[in-house]
Structure 1
Amino acid sequence: MPSSRPRSRRASLLSSEVLDRSRILDTLVNNLDGMVYRCLNDENWSMVFVSQGCQRLTGYSADQILQDPGFSWNRITHPEDRGRVSEALGWAIASRQRFAVEYRIITASREVKWILERGVPVLNEQGELVLEGLMEDISQQKAMVESLEQAEERFRHIFENASEGIFQSTREGRYLAANQALARLYRYDSPEQLIDELSDLDQRLYVDPERRNEFLRLMKSSGEVLNFESEILRRDGSRLWISENAHEVWDARGRFVCYEGTVQDISERKHYQEQLERQANHDLLTGLPNRTLLADRLEQGLAQATRLGYYLCVVFIDLDNFKFINDGLGHAVGDLLLKEVAERLGGCLRASDTVARLGGDEFVLVINSHYQVSTVISLLERVLREVNRPVLLDGREFQVGASLGVAMFPDDGRDADSLLKRADIAMYAAKKVGRNNFQFFTEDLNRIANDRLNIEAAMRLALEQDGFEVYYQPKVDGQRRIVGVEALARWFHPELGPVGPDRFIPIAEETGLIQPLTVAILRRAFAAARCWNQDRVEPLRVAVNLSPLLFIGQDLVQRLGDLLDEAQLAANCVEVEITETVFLGDKDRAVKVLEELRTLGVQLAMDDFGTGYSSLSYLRHFPLDVVKIDRSLVTDVESEEEVAMIAGAAISLGKRLRKRVVAEGVENQAQFDFLCEQGCDEFQGFLFSRPVPAAAIDRMLEAGGVLSACG
């Protein structure tokens, strides 16, 4: 039994917490830039509570507003606005809806102020309908709008008759005014249409959104931009190069009003410049960057890699057997091959990467922003596969390989020349090994690459030979009765030894092996679950993890249903565990798949709850049945007060949302006792059992299915 001292301490903490909340609420309300209020639903909207902000807002003290029988809020409301305010408040009360209304008041000093009142009808302590809300002074905003309207009127004639595009815009990227010439330039029917539709300049106007940031930077530093060139998107989707001249406009009080400027079409001049630059920086045969542009791209990539701490990868490529084709079939056929290879290489890379041609059959790849060697290896394998695909030349089919040499920044060199030289050395090493392969300049990276390739090859063989096993970790309820298990893939290779999931799962996802691996695991887990659920009243659920990559395919639900039918297993015996990364891609599709899974009858669980940054919204909006409290919220829960508070809050949240709450990583009795006390439904961890083969689960169930502490 827990001692009374901790219980007393918790009560004391709760008491002080209530006091703190009251003090904080009072401070917050009375320091708001506005007036918090409660008023009656009567003819004069009689105030029964106002915050201290009333003095700043109205010039009247709280006592005057609340105790002076001659005071009424309706009286200080501007006569021209009273009817409109009454109508808005009456609608809110009738519909029990929140409201927001702007109107004028007359202060104690006879000053007219514009205010924004937002509130909601509620029932007070006696069950009577009252209004509660916040009033804020918006006079300055109103004055700004009036000032801008006056400025627009003064300059309207210039706007409408100028031959150049003229505009006024806000810092936030919205046009305040535009003339007909600008609308015509951007392919809008009228200035009004341009202003209405073009409300986000950085995303909808500039082809490169960073140009807007550069525009703002120049404005901030010098107050103007001169001959600012940008490529923009017109309303019909066509592109146009423009030159802007603009400056800041300030009012008499030194307050910013807008940006004001002119726009000219410079497309013809810009296209001529681009033609000259392309001829100087691109290979004439393939259209790829040449040696000059490659040097520039390398310098940019090195600067970015240094700043962000990523790898930069330089790959030197030499085609195998090119000389045979070029000499045997002629240079025209050789040129066709080079153009085909250039296109295939470009198709392998992202827009941020570079493929360049140095001359002859030599190409260079500059691969940016990779933080894992494994992703570089996957890309290199794709390059080899693409180059090695058969190509039709002069009516005959040929297969051309490539030798790739790889140098990595910062390990193999810190400047462009060093990286190119060492990638060239590695390329010759690839030719010596046997061509149509890649070699890293660094031996350690070569070892990693070989290890990864060995694991991938071994995985393919293991899948063909049913070499993966499934272990199961029990889940228990508060009485330590087994109510479910989690199926976990395990791999024991005769030569590699035990290969952990942290090694083989990422490779499976990168190579496309995750689908056959998942099918193999599900088939075994479903067969075992069918045996365990024979003659059971309450289903013993088997939980299976699904990779987010499986949600990209079109047949996940169908395939899962087929496996259930094959095992003759009821869907309510299966719990599908996902992580929030499922929703980071096509969220709508992910939700659709989850709804189809729920229709199939399986339970849906959010794994690793408490570790991401969007889990709370997922609990509310997505069709989830279970949340699994991450082990990081369980570790030290028995000894760290802050950890205990966070874990308790997570459990409480899950229960309030009517989810089944499972805690994983339970390793000692104190953690189990705490989680039970907080209302957790199920528990999983080394306190009860490590992951074990199916036969061990059989023995546990035959012995009654109640687990004592794991020895």
Structure 2
Amino acid sequence: MVRLVLGHSRQLMAARGQLEQQHSIQAMIAEEVPLGQTLDAICLMLEDQLHGGLCSIMLADDEGRELRLVAGNSLPVGYREALGAVPIAAGMGACGSSAHDRDVVVCEDLENDPRWKGVRTLATREGLRACWSYPVIASDGRLLGTFATYYRRPARPDGTELEMTRQAVDLVALAVEREQDRRSLWESEQRYRSLFAYNPDAVFSLDLRGHFATANDHCSALTGFPVEQILGAHFSQFLQPDDLAHVQQKFEITAAGEPCCYELQIPHRDGKVRRLDITNLPIVIDERIQGVYGIAKDVTQRREHETRLRILERGVEASVNGVLIADAGEPDLPIIYANDAFQRMTGYTREEIIGRNCRFLQGAETDVAAVQQVRQQLARQCEVHVTLCNYRKDGAPFWNDLYIAPVRDEEGQVTHYVGIQHDISERKAYEARLAYHASHDALTGLANRALLEDRLVHDFELARRQGHLLAVLFVDLDEFKPINDSLGHAIGDQLLLGVSQRLSAAMRAGDTLARLGGDEFVVLLPDLHHDEQALQVAERLLALIARPYRVGEHELSLSCSIGIAVSSSEVSQPNELIQQADMAMYLAKQQGRNAYHWFTPEITHRLGDRVALRNELQEAIDVQAFELHYQPLIDRQGRVVGVEALLRWPNPIRGYVSPAQFIPLAEETGQIIPISEWVLSRACHDLRMLDEAGQGILNVAVNLSPLQFHRSSFLGNLRQTLAVTGLPAPKLSLELTEGVLMNDTESAIDTLHALRGMGVGVAIDDFGTGFSSLSYLKNLPIDTVKIDRSFVNEVTHSAEDAAIIQGIISMAHHLGLKVVAEGIEHEKQHDLLMTHGCDLFQGFYVARPMPLERLIEFLDATQPVSAGE
């Protein structure tokens, strides 16, 4: 009986001790003792109760993925240091598993428990044999961590021990939650304090009587009063008398629970007025309105800017000059504003203008140099002032005195461009009339002697600087005086008008045709590359003037004599050319008239050789005395995938004549048409022979003449050639230069689509040397581009050429086109082009042009034998 009483007494004392320990810990939690100390105390409390247990507490990270040790000083040091982060997952020891399953996990013997596989050695080395882990769950169901008890012997908890652990876990949950709540409250206070203190606007609160309860430093900046004087003061002390009733009304609305916004002007202490944008919000605590929050934004400067902007906008709208604004931050500088004057000036509506670049006003007569000046200055982000010929919506031209200025932001970056346009067409027309009468012949409207001399000096100097030729043709009508004398000056004047019209029609843009007086005319032909071009013009003029004229009831016949002089190093003065051409004209008259004559015998000799070459070329055409050589195209794997047909002319007297010599002559004389037709037919026929020789049908590329391409019969002749030779259309590729596509572009593109419909491939030859590449490439139905050899020649020495080639290859590949590099002469060129991703290679390094028989031998030696042979 005594033992029972003693046992019961010890139990009461133990229970009392446990309660005292729990109350002590609860007091620590209430007194906000640091969390680590509180958790250590909880571990010590349970260790004291369990006799031999070693307690630890682990807390989960914010993501709920890992546990980290925060309390457990009784555990061995080595074990604590090595423990690190424990993943929350099934089978991850006692704590990881307990946190994952949210249930008590008992590992009675660590040596045999599979959940301790990863850390069993560590635990047993430190003398740990058993572990019970209890999940710590927050009141809202969140996982906070785990509470674990270790033993140095295999052990399993009984009900009492689990209950003690549960009570300890409840204390841990309470301590952690209280700490998290304190932390959240502290962070919330810091956020509010930051929002209040660092807000760029004035932030304040008023009590329900309208007195300032709080105010940040920006309130002082807006009013000029220190914060100490603002606090406790009524808001009416900072208002103008006229605004008091309005602000009082807004305050009462917000105090009744409804937010509101309004603008207000308040006097600053320095006497200046500030314009504020104010927002009022009710302060609600426990569902009762306790006051009013206020946010005041200083919009004084913004309102001033808006007022100034309205004035400027009205001024712009009322201006008689056209005003445009373009966005500098967008590609192609799209127009974002156009005033009414601009719409009246151009005939376009605002909807037709917005989003476009100003270049839509340009046309055929727009000065290219002036446009380039605009582009250069805009690229430098500088002002520019030019005069341009622009076009209205109805096609009518007008002269535009244009001034463009950049608009910069506060950091100096250009954000917009403003363009001012002034229509000076009337002034230009008046100036043009004055200039025209001073420089043109009254009868024919052609240039007179004064304008001729100006043009002659200009063209002469330009030819010397650029290394081009300037030709002067002196044209004198044969037997005009008898017609003028017999039929009268009126008939003579009409005849002169007819002659001038025919001559004018034969001129190029940039040529000058002048009437010196009487029946004498002078033609300036600038920018010539060879002497023969002047001969071609002379021949054409002789034929034009010799055609009959109808003047009233008279049908008259007329001819002319032409003298030709061409600039050279021996000519030092421009007027010498007119004198030389004049002397040559007299020689032409002496030779029987209706003829031309060169000033120098050397030129006459060269022209005679040209005539001879033309006759020999015609004989070669008649007997088909040409050859085709084939140059292989090699792919990136070194395989022959095609050939290019190259024309050769073995002249019995001259030997092999360079294509650079006879092809341009054939183009000028029209002889290129039968030559091109022969080349196309022979190439298709030869490729069929390759097939019969067992080589299969390779792709063959044939260069196409511009004259042939633009003939109406071209597509029909091509279809017939393919049908007769039997060459499949996809095996034929036609190579065109960029210049072919510039004449009658729409028709050219239609022809290309027709070729694609037939299955014939199209390649752009000499790509990169023309001016149409980027403009038309994306719209052309082509398959291949060939990089001009001028870029390949210097690709290993010129960074610029290498960059151009890399750009061409990248652009072509983005458009789905193949790229051929021609003119490859050595290995370094080939390797560099391989690196840049070129598809096909052509040149002496990979294979030279060769006759068909040699090509067959070449293919036998280089191409792999197919299966079954």
TM-score by length of 2: 0.52
Instruction: Tell me, in whole angstroms, the C-alpha distance in 2 between the residues paired with 1:298 and 1:641.
Output: 40
Equivalent residue for 1:455, pick from 606, 613, 616: 613
Of the three residues 560, 564, 570, the one matched with 2:728 is: 570
Q: Secondary structure at the match of 2:675?
A: helix
C-alpha distance in 2 between matches for 1:245 and 1:478: 53
Output one character per residue of 1:417-463: Cα deviation in whole Å (capped at 9) or x when no partner.
Answer: 22221221222233334433333334444444433343334333432
Q: SS of the residue aligned with 2:455?
A: helix
Per the alignment, do residues 471 and 173 of structure 1 end up closer, same or farther by CA in structure 2, a change over 3 Å counting?
A: closer
Gaps of 5+ in 2: 1-186, 202-300, 327-332, 864-869
Partner residue, 1:354: 512
* In structure 2, C-alpha distance between the alignment counterparts of 1:320 and 1:659, rounded to whole Å: 59
Shift of 1:572: 3.6
| Alignment match, 1:318 | 476
User: Is 1:509 equivalent to 2:667 in the alignment?
Assistant: yes
> Are the structure 2 counterparts of residues 531 and 224 from structure 1 closer, same or farther at C-alpha, using a change threshold of 3 Å?
closer
Q: Secondary structure at the match of 2:861?
A: coil
| Distance in 2 of aligned mates of 1:253 and 1:206 | 40
For each residue in 1:252-302, what CA deviation from the matched residue of structure 2 results, as whole angstroms up to 9, or x when unmatched?
A: 9999998798968783x7656655554443222212122122223323334
Cα–Cα, structure 1 residues 534 and 362, in superposed 2: closer, same or farther, change >3 Å?
A: same
1:435 aligns with 2:593: yes
Give the equivalent residue in structure 1 for 2:310.
153
1:342 to 480, 494, 500: 500
Which has the higher mean CA deviation after the structures are superposed, 466-475 or 645-654?
645-654
- 1:706 matches 2:861: yes
With over 3 angstroms needed to count, the CA separation of the structure-2 counterparts of 1:285 and 1:470, relative to structure 1, is same
Tell me by how many angstroms 1:356 deviates: 0.8
Q: Where does residue 426 of structure 1 map in the other structure?
A: 584
Contact persistence 1:207–1:233 (CA under 8 A): no
Tell me how far apart the structure 1 counterparts of residues 302 and 708 of structure 2 sit (CA, whole Å). 53
Please report how far the alpha carbon of residue 517 of structure 1 lies from its aligned counterpart in structure 2 after TM superposition.
Answer: 1.8
* Contact persistence 2:334–2:355 (CA under 8 A): no
Structure 1 residues 537 and 502: alpha-carbon distance in aligned structure 2, compared to 1, 3 A threshold: closer
Equivalent residue number for residue 288 of structure 1: 446
1:500 matched to which residue of 2?
658
Equivalent pair of 1:472/1:693 in contact (CA under 8 Å)? yes
Three-state SS of the structure 2 residue aligned to 1:706 is helix
Shift of 1:553: 3.6
- Higher mean alpha-carbon deviation, 430-439 vs 499-508, is at 430-439
The answer to whether the Cα contact below 8 Å between 1:481 and 1:705 also exists between their aligned partners in 2 is: no
Deviation at residue 493 of structure 1 after TM alignment: 3.0
Q: Conserved in 2, the CA contact under 8 Å of 1:412 and 1:419?
A: no
Q: Aligned AA for 1:350?
A: R
Residues 557 and 474 (structure 1), Cα distance of their counterparts in 2 relative to 1, 3 Å cut: same
For 1:676 and 1:247, the matched residues in 2 are separated by 46
Distance 1:78 1:375, change over 3 A: farther
Is 479-488 or 275-284 further displaced after alignment?
A: 479-488
User: 2: distance between equivalents of 1:535 and 1:685?
Assistant: 25
Corresponding residue number in structure 1 for 2:683 = 525
Residue 559 of structure 1 is matched in structure 2 by: 717
**How many angstroms apart in 2 are the aligned matches of 1:399 and 1:175?**
62
Alignment of 1:570-589 (within 5 A): 570-583=728-741, 589=747
Measured after TM superposition, the shift of residue 342 of structure 1 is: 0.4
SS in 2 for 1:533: helix
Q: Is the 8 A contact 1:166 1:260 kept in 2?
A: no
Higher alpha-carbon deviation: 381-390 or 203-212: 203-212
Following superposition, the deviation at residue 146 of structure 1 comes to 10
Equivalent residue for 2:113? Answer: none
Structure 2 equivalent of residue 365 of structure 1? 523
Cα gap change, 1:340 to 1:601, in 2 (>3 Å): same
Tell me the secondary structure at the aligned position of residue 594 of structure 2. Answer: coil
**1:45 equivalent in structure 2:** none
Shift of 1:502: 0.3
User: 1:601 and 1:425 mapped to 2: Cα distance?
Assistant: 59
Q: How many residues align?
A: 561
Higher CA-based Rg:
2
CA distance, structure 1, for counterparts of residue 420 and residue 777 of structure 2 = 49
Give the structure 2 partner of residue 116 of structure 1. Answer: none
Q: Distance in 2 between matches of 1:356 and 1:387?
A: 16
SS at match of 1:544: strand
After TM superposition, list the pairs within 5 Å mapping 1:33-52 onto structure 2.
Answer: none
Cα pair 1:206 1:232 within 8 Å, conserved? no
User: Does 2:768 align with 1:596?
Assistant: no
Query: Does the CA-based 8 Å contact 1:198-1:205 persist in structure 2?
Result: no
| 1:578 partner letter | L
Give the secondary-structure state (helix, strand or coil) at the position aligned to 1:471: strand
SS at match of 1:542: strand
Letter in 2 for 1:543: A
In 1, Cα distance between the equivalents of 2:582 and 2:496? Answer: 19
How far apart are 1:405 and its partner, in Å?
Answer: 1.9
Kept after mapping to 2: 8 A contact 1:316/1:427: yes
User: Are 1:482 and 1:706, in contact at CA under 8 Å, matched by a contact in 2?
Assistant: no
Contact 1:206–1:233 (CA under 8 A) maintained in structure 2: no
| 2:534 and 2:564 in contact (8 A); partners too | no
Contact kept, 8 Å, 1:168 with 1:175, in 2: the verdict is no
Counterpart check, 1:400 vs 2:558: yes
**1:555–1:153 distance in 2 versus 1, CA, 3 Å:** farther
User: What is the root-mean-square deviation of aligned Cα atoms in Å?
Assistant: 5.7
Single out whichever of 228-237 and 529-538 deviates more from structure 2. 228-237
Q: CA 1:591/1:150 → structure 2, altered by over 3 Å: closer, same or farther? A: farther
Q: Is the 8 Å Cα contact of residues 346 and 391 (structure 2) preserved in structure 1?
A: no
**TM-superposed deviation, 1:331:** 3.7
Give the whole-Å Cα distance in 1 for the aligned partners of 2:462 and 2:800. 39
Contact 2:471 2:525 survives alignment (8 Å): yes
- Deviation of residue 501 (structure 1)? 0.3
Query: 1:309 and 1:665 mapped to 2: Cα distance?
Result: 27
Match of 1:34 in 2: none
Structure 1 residue 636, shift from structure 2 partner: 9.6
Shift of the alpha carbon at 1:575?
Answer: 2.9
Name the aligned partner's letter for residue 688 of structure 2. R
Cα distance in 1 between the residues matched to 2:585 and 2:423: 50
Which residue identity is paired with 1:153?
A: R
Q: Residue 283 of structure 1 aligns to which amino acid in structure 2?
A: D
TM-score, normalisation: structure 1:
0.61
2:622 equivalent in structure 1 = 464
Asked if the contact 1:651/1:661 (under 8 Å) is kept, the reply is yes
Q: Counterparts of 2:837 and 2:410 in 1: how far apart (Å)?
A: 61
Query: What do the CA deviations read for 1:643-668 (whole angstroms, capped 9, x no partner)?
Result: 99999998899889876676655667
Aligned to 2:126: none
Contact 1:281 1:290 in 2 (8 A): yes
AA aligned opposite 2:575? D
| Change beyond 3 A, Cα 1:683–1:321 | same
Name the aligned partner's letter for residue 310 of structure 2: E
CA distance in 2, matches of 1:439, 1:253: 70
Give the stretch that moved more between structures: 351-360 or 664-673.
664-673
Cα distance between partner residues in 2 of 1:676 and 1:251: 46
CA shift, 1:523, in A, is 2.3
Asked which structure has the greater RCO (Cα within 8 Å, sep 6+), the reply is 1
Q: Which moved more, 1:444-453 or 1:200-209?
A: 200-209
Letter in 2 for 1:705: D
Contact kept in structure 1, 2:338 and 2:354, CA below 8 Å: no
Structure 1 residues 147, 204: CA separation in 2 closer, same or farther (over 3 Å shift)? farther
Aligned ranges 1:375-414 → 2 under 5 Å: 375-393=533-551, 397-411=555-569, 413-414=571-572
Distance 1:475 1:145, change over 3 A: farther
Query: For 1:692 and 1:445, how far apart are their aligned partners in 2?
Result: 37
Residues 150 and 195 from structure 1, CA distance in 2 versus in 1: closer, same or farther, beyond 3 angstroms?
A: farther
